[in-house]
Amino acid sequence: MKLILKGENILNVPNVISLYRLLMCPVILVLALKDLQNWFIIFVCINLVSDILDGFIARHFKLVTRFGGGLDNLADLCTYFVIIYGIYRYKWPDFQPHQFSLFIFLSIFILSYLVAFTRFGKIPGLHLYSAVLAGYIQGAFSVVLFIWGFNLWFYYIAVGWGIVAYTEKIFVLFNLDDIKPGVKGLYWLLKANAQKKK
């Protein structure tokens, strides 16, 4: 069975997993609002694990699509939102002494989306190497945070690498003509652009 959108078959396993993550975000938020902390933690962890799965399946089985990249990023954005709310509701005393670094990270993260919307009018469906690694680190940090508690050195690794990754994404967005899958990072993009000019 196929569902074709702009020349791509968007009906595939990784896109279904991304859609699941997106649809679960309001459910997870309601669990937090109702103070069902254990269920909140369980479904946040499922969302984080499924984020790893959809990317792996898409790359391994060559199911990467522009639609899937945008859907995955939208699901990521919503998952970030519910995690931040969970931090505010359940873990804020641990984060409060380090809120400045968290604010810097969130500002750069949000700025990357604003740049994408301003330049291209859509979700930045990019999966740079640095951003994928940042997602893995931040996902692992979130699982550790909600299950075992706050770990300071892990926090600064997650936030520090996130700042690096999303700063790179902003520079990449300014050097792209269009958002497309397959962009590895700023180094590779600048190298490819230099070769085109020769």
| The pLDDT of residue 154 | 98
pLDDT at res. 28 = 97
Distance CA 125, CA 76 (A): 11
How many structural domains is the chain composed of? 1
Local structure of residue 88 (DSSP, 8 states): I
Q: Which residues of the chain carry a pLDDT beneath 70?
A: 198
Distance between the two ends of the chain, CA-based, in angstroms? 44
Query: Which residue range(s) make up the domain with 132?
Result: 4-197
Assign residue 162 the CATH number of its domain: 1.20.120
Per-residue pLDDT at 8: 80
Give strand pairing partners of 9. 4
Model pLDDT, residue 181: 74
* pLDDT at site 198: 67
Q: What are phi and psi of 5, to 5 degrees?
A: -135, 115
User: In angstroms, rounded to a whole number, what is the distance separating the alpha carbons of residues 198 and 183?
Assistant: 20
Report the 3 state secondary structure along 154-190: HHHHHHHHHHHHHHHHHHHHHCCCCCCCCCCCHHHHH
- Whose CA is closest to 53, among 137, 129, 136? 136
Find tokens 């699901």 and name the residue: 75
